[in-house]
Structures are given as structure tokens and as C-alpha cells.
Amino acid sequence: MVDMNDLINLKKELDEKIHHLFKDNQAYLDYILQTKQNFLYRYLETSTDKNLKIESVDEKTLVATSFESNMGDAFKIADTDIKNGIKQLAKSVPREQNPRVQYSLKTILDDFRGDNGKIILEAMVNWNFPEFTNAKGLNKKKQVVFEYHDPNVFRKQLALKYEEVCELFT
């Protein structure tokens, strides 16, 4: 039989360790970058784009982008709008022009204050070759807003939120 006091003390120790790990904004940022890198490997790497880099667009925005030139692989995405867009791209752009689809995963540190914050995650598939501008009907986005008020919630939920937004790529 488990002693309730032991469980309470164990939970308290774990909470203290997590609070110690996430002692400043840099610790939170490092965890975001590490988690995001895992999702880039799983969802954005393509046969031609490997070891993707996360770039800082401004002080609040981190983005990674890849390109899929294999229309068969791009067409594996289940979303009907994306499938139709990729099909149109494949029909309208000759193979010699090497049509590609762009994938991106953006992290916006909307309100980033350590233990308390708001992060916006955005996945996008863009078939507006070759410009890849955000023209209406030529891309699809999914956005997830993640608000946290505790390092335990942050640590447990961040990967789940990335998983949710990356469903766009499946």
C-alpha cells in the first residue's frame, strides 16, 4: 500500500525540480527550441530538406521552412483542400520547372514571461509555387494558441500543442 504522505512529498520534490529547471526565460526558450526541433524532424523534413534550422524572424517569431519536390509525397497529406491544391499545382506546372510545396512551422512568443505566457503555434502548407506568397486559396494554415501559468503545465503541454498544430502535415 502506498503512503499518501510519500506521494505528496514525491509530487512536491518533482514540482521543485521542474521549477528549478525552468528558472528563467532562456530555460523556457531552450525547451521550446528542443521540442520544436523534434517536430521538424518528424513532420517537415523531406527527401531533399534535412537538418532544418529554426530561424528568428524577429524577437518574438521563430520559423522553420522546408520544401517537398516529390508531388507524390506531398499528396499524402489527408486534408482535402491541400490535396486539391497540390493536384492543381502538379497539373499546372510542368515537371521540368521542379514544382515544390512549402511547409512551415512558426512559433510566436506572444507573451513570453517565464512561468506565465502565451505562445502561438502555426503550421502552413503552401502550394503557391514559385513565389510562396500567402495568396488566398493557395495555402492552408492551422493555428494553436497555448497559454500556460505554470512550468509543469508548460512542460507537459508544449509537445501536445505542437502535435496538434502539426496534424496539418498528416
27-43 burial, b if ≥16 CB within 10 A, otherwise e? Answer: ebeebbeebbeebbeeb
pLDDT of residue 6: 79
Of the candidate ranges 19-28, 60-69, 106-115, 139-148, the one whose mean pLDDT is the lowest? 19-28
Q: What's the mean pLDDT in 79-86?
A: 97
pTM confidence score: 0.88
Question: Residue 8 falls within a domain, yes or no?
Answer: no
Question: Residue 5 falls within a domain, yes or no?
Answer: no
Question: Residue 41 falls within a domain, yes or no?
Answer: yes
Question: Residue 12 falls within a domain, yes or no?
Answer: no
Question: Residue 91 falls within a domain, yes or no?
Answer: yes
Which residues, in sequence order, are bridge partners of residue 105?
64, 123
**Based on the structure, what is the number of domains in the chain?**
1
In one-letter notation, the amino acid at residue 144 is V
Question: Residue 13 falls within a domain, yes or no?
Answer: no
Domain residue limits at 86 = 23-169
